[in-house]
Amino acid sequence: RKEVEQDPGPFNVPEGATVAFNCTYSNSASQSFFWYRQDCRKEPKLLMSVYSSGNEDGRFTAQLNRASQYISLLIRDSKLSDSATYLCVVNQRNYQLIWGAGTKLIIKP
Amino acid sequence: DTAVSQTPKYLVTQMGNDKSIKCEQNLGHDTMYWYKQDSKKFLKIMFSYNNKELIINETVPNRFSPKSPDKAHLNLHINSLELGDSAVYFCASSQDYPSYEQYFGPGTRLTVT
């Protein structure tokens, strides 16, 4: 089993819709969780951290489910500019980050 | 003003050659990283330097050698390039170590023919 797994997608979603995707991790001792965003042929950029109590930033909500070992990202009122690949990142050991392969999101007009 | 810059952006070379990729950050960060993103899009840490000192050295062939002349620079030299080295190489930096908020450069797309 991979340390961090994501559905590669693509998720094709109409503009204005709500979309959510998950990321599962294998190590129950994982401490910290993050979502990064990577546009096509660009570098990754930190989107948001995922706290135990959840985290909301505008249209984006990130949640952690430790019992089932997954984190989620929900995007409300999706915009064309939300089209990107969303990378799940988990801190599993020695503060090194383990990266998922990403979920590709395409927002259609 | 580019925060993390890499040169070159594209690199096409033949098997067996030796090449270098340069990275510079002007954020005043103490820690710099090299990542490799392969065709399957997995980002894998290769090296990390904190205050010019190597702190992470993942299982990477010793054909890859990082060098940090100062805190603002971390270069990657690759000897005897192989087809499997083709990937996008990202440099990143963070304020300190450990830090999860990393700032990435634009990437260097290496193609080995």
Which has more pLDDT, A97 or A93? A97
3-state secondary structure chain B: CCCEEEECCEEEECCCCCEEEEEEECCCCCEEEEEEECCCCCEEEEEEEECCEEEEECCCCCCEEEEEEECCEEEEEECCCCHHHCEEEEEEEECCCCCCCCEECCCEEEEEC
What is the model's pLDDT at position A93? Answer: 63
- pLDDT value, residue A54: 86
- Answer yes or no: is pLDDT of A27 > 80: yes
- Could you read off the pLDDT of B99-111 as tens digits, one per residue? 778 999 999 999 9
* Percent above pLDDT 90 for chain B: 71
Buried b (16+ CB within 10 A) or exposed e, B54-91: ebbeeeeeeebebebeebbbbbbebeebeeebbbbbbb
* Distance in angstroms (rounded) separating the CA atoms of residues A80 and A83: 6
Cβ pair A91, A27 in contact under 8 A: no
Query: What was the pLDDT predicted at B96?
Result: 78
| Cα B66 from Cα B76, distance rounded (Å) | 4
Chain B residue with the nearest C-alpha to that of A90: B100
> How does residue B59 score in pLDDT terms, banded at 50, 70 and 90?
confident
Yes or no, beta carbons of A99 and B102 under 8 Å apart: no
Using the predicted structure, report yes or no on whether residue A94 has a pLDDT greater than 70: no
Question: Residue B97: closest CA among chain A residues belongs to which residue?
Answer: A95
Is B102 at the interface with chain A, CB within 8 A?
A: yes
Percentage of residues in chain A with pLDDT exceeding 90?
77
Mean pLDDT to the nearest integer, A16-25: 96
Min Cα–Cα distance to chain A from B19, Å: 22
